[in-house]
């Protein structure tokens, strides 16, 4: 699948804004729209930046996929700022708590902690 460069922009009111340039396929972006993300306190203590990703907050940059792949070999998939796909939260079907992807088994729809308890 072809990958493209995308711009993420979130206006967080008087607290500031989040921006990012990252590489993804069109399907990955479609799967990100509507997802709950949690950036934590990235704009300072007690800032708690979280919410659902809306379609107009991620825009495709007019750059061909060949160029994107060449630069990605050097810079990786996140070129600058925040990649919202790295902050998607998942809700465990067992304990009903929210977890980032590194603490969640998407196939089993449960956190690694509940999974470790034999669920």
How do the domains of the chain map onto residue ranges? 3-87, 88-119
The answer for residues whose C-beta is within 8 angstroms of residue 106's C-beta and 6 or more apart is 90
Contact residues for 40 (Cβ-Cβ < 8 A; gap 6+): 48, 49, 50
Q: Give 33-75 pLDDT, tens digit per residue.
A: 999 999 999 999 988 999 999 999 999 999 999 999 999 999 9
Q: What is the pTM of this model?
A: 0.86
DSSP calls for 45-105 = TT--EEEE--GGGEEE-S--HHHHHHHHHHH-SEEEE--GGGGBEEE-TTT--EEEGGGEE
């Amino acid at each position: 699948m072809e990958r493209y460069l995308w711009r993420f922009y979130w206006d967080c009111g008087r607290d500031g804004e989040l921006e990012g340039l990252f590489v993804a396929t069109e399907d990955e972006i479609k799967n990100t729209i509507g997802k709950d993300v949690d950036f934590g306190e990235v704009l300072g203590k007690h800032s708690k930046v979280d919410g659902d990703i809306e379609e107009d907050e991620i825009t495709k940059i007019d750059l061909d996929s060949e160029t994107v792949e060449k630069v990605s070999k050097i810079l990786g998939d996140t070129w600058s700022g925040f990649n919202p796909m790295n902050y998607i939260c998942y809700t465990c079907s067992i304990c009903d708590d929210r977890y980032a992807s590194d603490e969640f088994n998407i196939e089993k729809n449960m956190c690694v902690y509940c999974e470790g308890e034999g669920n």
